[in-house]
């Protein structure tokens, strides 16, 4: 083989090697990009399914999180708040037990607020031998207007509740109260809180009593304006029978509490 042929063969080999190096670099870059995007993909999906989901409905999510349906937010707020305010035998014992039991479902600020409220009620003698229960006012349950967006990942839920307390078996409180419960996304401990939501007590609002006229206005679907409160565009409608069951068709509002706040 002549010198010229040897030089040509060497140049061809070098060009081929350079081409292979470029191919290897492209494949490596594609592999690195693929590994990066695979790492960015969520390893689990946080999906909240509405109980009234129908065929053809879709669930949208971003960064592994799906939007939370309003009915789920309302149900969460109602269940947690009802349970915290469930004193089955003795408020002096049950209130603290319920706060401890549901501490993973409230924010640290709300937990401190509940503990402070418990201490204040204890010092005022409003817990010993007292039972408490609360429930939705029949006919005034969930409606879209009761869940008000409060920024990204936060909502204010308007709960219209009937609060009843007794002292040693004797009724001492039977009143209607609107609780503006703030709910926030709270992905802190998935083992203890699979909802990944938390109650933040009242946020910047405060609970307020509803008298008979307010409840009747809600039953007709008219807005109920309470000073300093969020007013939904419209309240849910209720049948006359549902209102009768709550009001007993009397013109006097439920008896107020003997002491303390809602």
Nearest Cα to 132, choosing from 237, 4, 257?
Answer: 257
Q: Can you give the C-alpha Rg of the chain in angstroms?
A: 30
> What is residue 233's predicted lDDT score, i.e. its pLDDT?
43
pLDDT in tens, 103-140: 999 999 999 999 999 999 999 999 999 999 999 988 78
Asked whether the whole model's pTM tops 0.75, one would answer no
Question: Domains along the chain?
Answer: 68-247 (3.10.450.230)
Per-residue pLDDT, 134: 94
Q: Name which of 204, 209, 224 is nearest 145 in CA terms.
A: 224
Confidence band for 249, pLDDT divided at 50, 70 and 90 = very low
Q: Would you call 84 helix, strand, or coil by DSSP?
A: helix
pLDDT category at 32 given cuts 50, 70, 90 is: confident
What pLDDT sits at residue 222?
46
- What number is the average pLDDT over the span 93-107? 97
| Average pLDDT, integer, range 43-68 | 64
Task: Give the H/E segment covering residue 132.
Answer: strand 130-136
pLDDT in tens, 164-173: 999 998 999 9
- Report d(CA 101, CA 121) in Å as an integer: 19
When pLDDT is averaged across residues 60-74 and rounded to a whole number, the result is 78
Cα-based angle 104, 107, 111 (whole degrees, multiple of 5): 85
Residue with tokens 């603290």: 96
- Average pLDDT score over residue span 222-243: 44
* Number of Cβ atoms within 10 Å of the Cβ of 182: 22
Tell me the pLDDT tens digit for each residue of 142-187. Answer: 888 899 998 888 999 999 999 999 999 899 999 999 999 999 999 8
Q: Do the Cβ atoms of 185 and 196 come closer than 8 Å?
A: yes
What's the CA gap between 233 and 144, in Å, rounded? 10
């Amino acid at each position: 083989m002549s010198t010229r042929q040897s030089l040509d063969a060497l140049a061809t080999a070098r060009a081929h090697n350079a081409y292979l190096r470029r191919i290897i670099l492209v494949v490596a870059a594609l592999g690195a990009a693929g590994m990066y995007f695979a790492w960015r993909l969520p390893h689990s999906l946080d999906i909240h399914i509405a109980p009234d989901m129908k065929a053809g409905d879709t669930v949208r999510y971003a960064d592994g999180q799906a939007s939370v349906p309003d009915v789920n937010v309302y149900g969460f707020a109602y269940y947690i708040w009802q349970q915290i305010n469930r004193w089955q035998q003795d408020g002096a014992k049950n209130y603290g037990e319920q706060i401890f039991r549901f501490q993973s479902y409230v924010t640290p600020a709300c937990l401190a607020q509940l503990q402070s409220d418990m201490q204040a009620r204890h010092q005022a003698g409003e817990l010993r031998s007292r039972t408490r229960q609360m429930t939705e006012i029949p006919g005034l349950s969930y409606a879209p207007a009761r869940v008000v967006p409060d920024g990204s990942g936060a909502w204010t839920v308007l709960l219209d509740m009937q609060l009843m307390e007794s002292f040693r078996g004797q009724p001492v409180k039977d009143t209607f109260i609107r609780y503006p419960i703030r709910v926030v996304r709270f992905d802190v401990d998935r083992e203890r809180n699979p909802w990944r939501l938390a109650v933040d007590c009242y946020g910047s609002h405060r609970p307020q009593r509803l008298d008979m006229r307010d409840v009747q206005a809600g039953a007709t679907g008219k807005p109920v304006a309470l000073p300093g409160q969020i007013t939904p565009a419209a309240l849910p409608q209720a049948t006359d029978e549902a209102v009768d069951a709550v009001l007993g068709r009397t013109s006097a509002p439920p008896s107020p509490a003997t002491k303390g706040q809602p």
